[in-house]
Protein backbone atom coordinates (compact mmCIF):
# COMPACT_ATOMS: atom_id res chain seq x y z
CA UNK A 1 0.00 0.00 0.00
CA UNK A 2 1.27 3.46 -0.93
CA UNK A 3 -0.07 6.84 0.16
CA UNK A 4 -0.19 9.44 -2.62
CA UNK A 5 0.21 13.14 -1.93
CA UNK A 6 0.36 15.95 -4.49
CA UNK A 7 1.48 19.46 -3.59
CA UNK A 8 -0.69 20.59 -6.53
CA UNK A 9 -3.90 19.43 -4.86
CA UNK A 10 -5.40 20.61 -1.57
CA UNK A 11 -4.27 19.02 1.66
CA UNK A 12 -6.77 16.75 3.37
CA UNK A 13 -9.13 18.67 5.63
CA UNK A 14 -9.42 15.73 8.00
CA UNK A 15 -7.66 12.53 9.10
CA UNK A 16 -7.38 10.93 5.66
CA UNK A 17 -5.06 10.72 2.64
CA UNK A 18 -5.55 12.35 -0.75
CA UNK A 19 -5.24 8.88 -2.26
CA UNK A 20 -4.11 5.35 -1.50
CA UNK A 21 -2.64 2.99 -4.08
CA UNK A 22 -3.04 -0.75 -3.57
CA UNK A 23 -1.22 -2.78 -6.24
CA UNK A 24 -2.49 -1.27 -9.51
CA UNK A 25 -5.60 0.41 -8.08
CA UNK A 26 -5.74 4.01 -6.88
CA UNK A 27 -8.48 5.20 -4.54
CA UNK A 28 -8.92 8.98 -4.32
CA UNK A 29 -10.69 10.40 -1.32
CA UNK A 30 -13.51 12.82 -2.01
CA UNK A 31 -11.95 15.77 -3.86
CA UNK A 32 -13.26 19.22 -3.01
CA UNK A 33 -13.20 22.51 -4.98
CA UNK A 34 -10.35 23.89 -2.89
CA UNK A 35 -7.56 26.00 -4.34
CA UNK A 36 -4.34 24.22 -3.25
CA UNK A 37 -2.40 27.51 -3.14
CA UNK A 38 -4.76 29.20 -0.68
CA UNK A 39 -6.27 26.03 0.83
CA UNK A 40 -9.66 27.73 0.65
CA UNK A 41 -12.88 26.88 -1.14
CA UNK A 42 -13.32 28.33 -4.61
CA UNK A 43 -16.50 30.28 -3.93
CA UNK A 44 -18.42 30.52 -7.13
CA UNK A 45 -20.88 28.64 -9.29
CA UNK A 46 -21.02 24.90 -9.98
CA UNK A 47 -18.99 25.24 -13.20
CA UNK A 48 -16.08 26.96 -11.46
CA UNK A 49 -16.18 24.52 -8.55
CA UNK A 50 -16.40 21.50 -10.87
CA UNK A 51 -13.40 22.74 -12.85
CA UNK A 52 -11.38 23.13 -9.65
CA UNK A 53 -12.30 19.61 -8.52
CA UNK A 54 -11.17 18.26 -11.90
CA UNK A 55 -7.83 20.15 -11.63
CA UNK A 56 -7.33 18.68 -8.16
CA UNK A 57 -8.18 15.15 -9.34
CA UNK A 58 -5.80 15.54 -12.27
CA UNK A 59 -2.95 16.61 -9.96
CA UNK A 60 -3.42 13.57 -7.71
CA UNK A 61 -3.68 11.19 -10.67
CA UNK A 62 -0.48 12.65 -12.16
CA UNK A 63 1.33 12.19 -8.85
CA UNK A 64 0.41 8.49 -9.09
CA UNK A 65 1.55 8.28 -12.73
CA UNK A 66 -1.99 8.18 -14.11
CA UNK A 67 -4.51 10.38 -15.91
CA UNK A 68 -8.25 10.52 -16.59
CA UNK A 69 -8.04 7.53 -18.93
CA UNK A 70 -7.11 5.34 -15.95
CA UNK A 71 -10.33 6.23 -14.09
CA UNK A 72 -12.82 3.37 -13.97
CA UNK A 73 -15.36 4.72 -11.44
CA UNK A 74 -16.39 8.04 -9.99
CA UNK A 75 -18.84 8.89 -7.25
CA UNK A 76 -20.10 12.45 -7.53
CA UNK A 77 -21.86 14.37 -4.81
CA UNK A 78 -23.65 17.62 -5.65
CA UNK A 79 -25.54 19.83 -3.26
CA UNK A 80 -28.55 20.24 -5.56
CA UNK A 81 -29.74 18.38 -8.67
CA UNK A 82 -30.39 21.76 -10.31
CA UNK A 83 -26.59 21.76 -10.94
CA UNK A 84 -26.66 18.39 -12.73
CA UNK A 85 -26.62 19.67 -16.34
CA UNK A 86 -23.88 22.26 -15.76
CA UNK A 87 -21.82 19.72 -13.83
CA UNK A 88 -22.17 17.20 -16.66
CA UNK A 89 -20.77 19.71 -19.16
CA UNK A 90 -17.54 20.05 -17.15
CA UNK A 91 -17.37 16.35 -16.33
CA UNK A 92 -17.78 15.24 -19.97
CA UNK A 93 -14.85 17.38 -21.12
CA UNK A 94 -12.45 15.68 -18.71
CA UNK A 95 -13.76 12.13 -18.41
CA UNK A 96 -13.95 11.43 -22.15
CA UNK A 97 -13.38 7.71 -21.51
CA UNK A 98 -16.77 7.66 -19.73
CA UNK A 99 -15.96 5.71 -16.55
CA UNK A 100 -18.75 4.16 -14.49
CA UNK A 101 -20.37 6.82 -12.32
CA UNK A 102 -22.82 7.49 -9.55
CA UNK A 103 -24.09 11.03 -9.00
CA UNK A 104 -26.26 11.91 -6.06
CA UNK A 105 -27.55 15.06 -4.42
CA UNK A 106 -26.67 15.41 -0.77
CA UNK A 107 -27.96 17.69 1.95
CA UNK A 108 -24.61 19.41 2.46
CA UNK A 109 -20.87 19.04 1.84
CA UNK A 110 -17.86 20.16 3.88
CA UNK A 111 -17.17 23.89 3.73
CA UNK A 112 -20.58 24.29 2.01
CA UNK A 113 -19.08 23.17 -1.31
CA UNK A 114 -21.43 22.52 -4.21
CA UNK A 115 -19.57 19.40 -5.36
CA UNK A 116 -17.23 16.59 -4.30
CA UNK A 117 -15.94 13.67 -6.40
CA UNK A 118 -14.39 10.33 -5.38
CA UNK A 119 -12.34 8.40 -7.94
CA UNK A 120 -11.09 4.87 -8.48
CA UNK A 121 -8.39 4.44 -11.13
CA UNK A 122 -6.45 1.42 -12.38
CA UNK A 123 -2.96 1.50 -13.83
Check if 76 is active-site.
no
Report whether pLDDT(12) > 90. Answer: no
Number of Cβ within a 10 Å radius of residue 121:
25
Distance, in Å, from the CA atom of 108 to the CA atom of 79, rounded to the nearest integer, reads: 6
Which residues, in sequence order, are bridge partners of residue 2? 21
- On whether the CB atoms of residues 56 and 5 are closer than 8 A, the answer is no
List the catalytic residue out of 20, 59, 103, 120. Answer: 103
Average pLDDT score, the chain: 96
Domains of the chain, first to last: 2-122 (3.30.1330.40)
* 17-72 pLDDT per residue, tens: 999 999 999 999 999 999 999 999 998 899 999 999 999 999 999 999 999 999 99
Nearest to 78 by CA among 69, 65, 87, 90: 87
Which residues, in sequence order, are bridge partners of residue 120? 27, 73
Q: Torsion-angle region of residue 68: left (phi > 0), alpha (psi -120 to 50) or beta? A: alpha
Amino acid sequence: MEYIFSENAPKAIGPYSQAVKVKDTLYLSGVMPINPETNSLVESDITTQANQVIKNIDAILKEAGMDANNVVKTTCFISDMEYFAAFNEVYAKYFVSKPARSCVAVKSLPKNALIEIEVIAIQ
